[in-house]
Amino acid sequence: MYKLYTQKVFLFVHISFFIAVMCLSLNTNSDQIESIKISDIQSFRWDTDNQSLVLRVGSKYYDVYFSSRCWDIESAEKLEFQSWSNRTHLSVGDAIIPMSYRWGFDSPSNCFIKSIVKIES
């Protein structure tokens, strides 16, 4: 009885591990990165076709996608960063605030980062 129970538990653990590994491998994007050092960001532009913010960091470019519509980002003259976990790096869940003086005041919208993906050359 004990041996049969042990075999079932062992089988259950292996199946659970296999499912977890498969889910992780399906959700992992090799181009997606963990974070960007804020002080290394040299320029930005809005990509209307891709609906993403393109950041230039050295000779590399990154697409930043947001979890919802980011108002005023197209006309932003500068960006402010609100990093919740680390003051020096920008990562998923952090906010980018577009600063637009088109209307005579700063944009009230926070744009929360959904993903950061390296653009292949």
Summarised one tens digit per residue, pLDDT across range 26-58 is 444 556 778 899 999 999 999 999 999 999 999
> Is the entire prediction scored with pTM above 0.85?
no
Give how far the C-alpha of residue 114 lies from the chain's centroid of Cα atoms, to the nearest Å.
4
Q: How far apart are CA 119 and CA 12, in angstroms?
A: 40
Of 27, 76, 86, nearest in space to 55 by CA: 76
